[in-house]
Amino acid sequence: MAAFTWEVRVYYEDTDSGGVVYYANYLRFMERARTEWMRSLGFEQDQLIREEGILFAVRSANVEFLQPARFNDLLSVGLDVVQRGRASLTFSQAVARSDDASRPLCTGDIKIACLDAASFRPHPIPDFILKEIPDVV
């Protein structure tokens, strides 16, 4: 079971000509889950830019496509923080049908970097954020 999960419905616009979720949309679903995870911790990304001068951006993504999702499927997008760096977080994420979370359709290891919003240079993740993120086992 993932530390955080978020559900999303597959809309027609999410599918390709074959009637399955277009591969790039899995990355969108994972991004939205990370945004909702941050929100659940009490952080709004636009507020972090405005008030703290920081933003988070994807540094790398390694994604495996295992099975197709189709129009109208209800998906569960899970995430676990698997590594905490001084200016980065690495997530293990999985997308599955909500009624069968044990069989992932897509998995990904996503590394995000904390950046200074003005210079786009690495910036240490502020302590007030780190204290809300559970320790990595």
What residues are labeled active site?
16
Neighbour tally for 49: CB within 10 Å:
15
Q: How far is CA 21 from CA 15, 71, 104, in A?
A: 4, 7, 14
| Burial of 119 (C-beta count, 10 Å sphere; 0-12/13-18/19+) | exposed
Alpha helices in 7-134 (DSSP H): 23-40, 45-47, 127-130
Beta bridge partners of 82: none
